[in-house]
Amino acid sequence: MSQRLHSPETFEDKLELLRDLRNQAIHSASEKAVEKQHAKGKYTARERIEKLLDEG
């Protein structure tokens, strides 16, 4: 994620910041933790939430 020292000024800056934050949240779990959940036959919390939500 790119570090910002000031508030986003334009819509494009805000959109880029939102994309960065979303990407960081999606990829925040370590591979080891994900593998551990999958080894137990379980989904991660994010995977469970994604299954509940529709794409609309």
**Is pTM, for the whole model, over 0.85?**
no
Question: Which pLDDT belongs to residue 5?
Answer: 60
Q: Which residue has the higher pLDDT, 34 or 6?
A: 34
pLDDT of 20 strictly over 90: yes
Distances (CA, A) of 21 to 1, 28, 40, 43: 7, 10, 29, 22
Domain assignments of the chain as residue spans, ordered by start: 11-52
Q: Which residue has the higher pLDDT, 36 or 2?
A: 36
Structure confidence by residue, pLDDT tens digits, 1-13: 456 566 778 999 9
Q: Give the other-Cβ count within 10 Å of 41's Cβ.
A: 6
Mean pLDDT of 31-47: 92
